[in-house]
Structure 1
């Protein structure tokens, strides 16, 4: 009897040990999402960032899995590193896991990204960076009135509409960024993610290579994907700086310009 009781106790203990893991998986995998690939199956992650415009940037960051499988060794080189020998650093495997989870979730639509980015915008910071307000002269509209219109454009639905318009329209010359990410697995083909977006967080991402002109490719407006990629990079790299641009600072001039146009239309009675 003691032996039987001991065996039963072992089985009960084994079952109880697995219950939290099963519950955690059920709660954390989004409905309709593919099961995330284990980080232990990721051999390496290559991130290449190039930029042309006022100058040229070409960075390559390779994360190679370490022997312990708990860390990755990141080797970075490129024009922003002044052509010196590659810089190396250790990155926790958890950071790679964050990218895998973002990829395993259902693709984000633009509307969801707009909502998340809108929550990151700080009205006080936008007003502080809208430096042209005091210099802009609009007949029938004072600097204070322009500032009030900026404030109105930073509220709820107005801000989301402004952000949506920002992502849909507008293209600047002398600014041509490209990021290409390749995830290499021990088993299975590599996964490629690319973006040539000028906008905040380089959204949207293309799931695959950049399509030829006139063609379409699956897109993902995932903010967590942009955040995860930024955390894999050296903070001082041009790639990380591009992905981490402050939303409030980047949008200040756009929102200010729209507020000035509002004032102009109002002063003309249109």
Structure 2
């Protein structure tokens, strides 16, 4: 087996003996299923906020075993558009492999996302300006502090705040994915997360009442695999992409400005 395939399978928690068969652990998902056991994949994406969108992407097995036909119906305020394209079966296999691996804990997802943050891109999307309250906090000063917050443990702390505490209005996405097998139960994952890559994923349908015991996965490979199944220009693909990092950049900029004003501003009067 080529070394690349071995690395990918190890990364997903599989052994090299598994090639076109999804790896699994007891209780982590459906029974092991070869790619040719997948009948279809349906990805539903709905969005409301500053605009609205309703997308349904269905991947059905084509005549051969090496491809799926993707039919995409996209409804926006401008109208409805339906398109078709051919998707290699390998892309579907990537999603099956990712979901059959053990669910990722939050810490692992944060580690991977931290490695993907591009400081220069973040500074470009959330360019700092000088503080109005503390003249010593120039744009350059705040910019340097933003750089410091995008390193090591400081960045992981910012990601922790972003994923657990930060919310914003007028941005309400929802995605539901159903994988249908020939002789195994359907597998469903869903998310309404506003955050990068829509993490975390609920393993099943979204519950009416969110509770800590709801099974979830912070698997970045699941988000990556889903994005590769979608039309690149679709809103669903863009939502799963890493260009959707504006709010993380704004949070880091705010934290940098607050730290600067606290350090260089006039001392607060004792209460």
* TM > 0.5: yes
Q: What pairs up with 1:46-57 in 2 under 5 angstroms?
A: 46-57=42-53
Q: CA deviation at 1:69?
A: 1.4
Equivalent residue for 2:243, pick from 243, 246, 270:
246
Q: 1:217 aligns with which of 214, 217, 221?
A: 214
> Separation in 1 of the partners of 2:155 and 2:197?
17
Find 1:126's aligned residue among 113, 122, 127.
122
Deviations 1:10-67 (A, max 9, x none): xxxxxxxxxxxxx721799588777742110000000000001112110000000112
Give the match's secondary structure for 1:25: coil
Question: Is the 1:49–1:58 Cα contact (8 Å) retained in structure 2?
Answer: yes
Which residue of structure 1 aligns with residue 17 of structure 2? Answer: 25
User: CA–CA distance in 2 between the matches of 1:104 and 1:164?
Assistant: 26
The 1:244/1:214 distance shift into structure 2, 3 A limit, reads: closer
> More helix per residue: 1 or 2?
1
Q: Assess if the C-alpha contact under 8 Å between 2:99 and 2:222 holds in 1.
A: yes
Counterpart residue number, 2:39:
43
Whole-Å separation in 2 of the counterparts to 1:174 and 1:163: 21
The corresponding residue for 1:198 is: 194
Report the Cα distance in structure 2 between the residues aligned to 1:76 and 1:56, rounded to whole angstroms.
Answer: 17
Q: Distance in 2 between matches of 1:30 and 1:90?
A: 28
Against the structure 1 CA distance between its residues 94 and 253, is the aligned structure 2 distance closer, same or farther, given a 3 Å change threshold? same
For 2:234 and 2:139, locate their aligned partners in 1 and report how far apart those are by CA, in whole Å: 38
Q: Which runs of 5+ in 1 are unaligned?
A: 1-22
Deviation at 1:237?
A: 0.4
Number of residue pairs matched by the alignment? 247
Aligned-pair CA distance for 1:81: 9.3
Task: Classify the secondary structure of the residue corresponding to 1:68.
Answer: coil
DSSP 3-state at the match of 1:24: coil
1:263 and 2:260 matched: yes
TM-score relative to the length of structure 1: 0.84
- Tell me the residue number matched to 2:155: 159
Residue equivalent to 1:7? none
1:118/1:38 CA distance change after superposition, 3 Å: same
Tell me the alpha carbon deviations over residues 109-159 of structure 1, each in whole angstroms, 9 at most, x when there is no partner.
Answer: 11111111111111222223332x235424142222211211110111111
Change (3 A) 1:157 1:247: farther
RMSD: 2.3
Identify which of 85, 88, 94 aligns with 2:90. 94
Q: Rg larger in 1 or in 2?
A: 1
Query: Cα distance, 1:192 vs. partner?
Result: 0.7
Check whether the contact 1:230–1:244 (CA below 8 A) recurs between aligned residues.
Answer: yes
For normalisation by structure 2, the TM-score amounts to: 0.84
Return the alpha-carbon distance in structure 2 between the equivalents of residues 246 and 51 of structure 1: 17
